[in-house]
Amino acid sequence: MTKKTPGKPRTYTIDQLDAMLLQFVQQNPNTQVSYMSLQKATGVGRNTWARNMKEKIDKINQPSPIIDHLQATDSLPLPNIAELVHTLYPNKDKLIEALYQVNRSLHKFYEQAKKNLSA
């Protein structure tokens, strides 16, 4: 019997890669996600990450819209946490991703404030 699809069979499913990516982001909340750092942390090749999870990794690495908005105004526009929970509660991964984005933004603000105080 011949193979119906060309190429090497997948070693990891998309769900497994998604779970490993989520775990990596949880363990490294304030770092830029790169294929090499994922390879070192998980043992899955960087080409596998690039082929299967490129869009999701790019989305995680995008700058927070909160920071862009803050540069235009002097106030700190934080999202309504209760609204996030109510709208994203059925999808736990999206809720976690949204809250990590808030966490990263607050960490960046803290680092900027620390720099300004020391300068």
Q: In the chain, where are the structural domains located?
A: 1-62, 63-119
Asked if residue 15 has pLDDT above 60, the reply is: yes
Asked if residue 40 has pLDDT above 90, the reply is: yes
Of the candidate ranges 23-37, 38-52, 70-84, the one whose mean pLDDT is the lowest: 70-84
pLDDT per residue as tens digits for the range 50-109: 999 999 888 888 865 554 444 545 555 666 777 777 777 777 888 888 888 888 888 888
- 47: which residues sit within 8 A by CB, 6+ positions away? 35
DSSP state of 8: P
- 84: which residues sit within 8 A by CB, 6+ positions away? 95, 98, 99
Q: Which helix (H) or strand (E) holds 96?
A: helix 92-118
Please state the length of the chain: 119
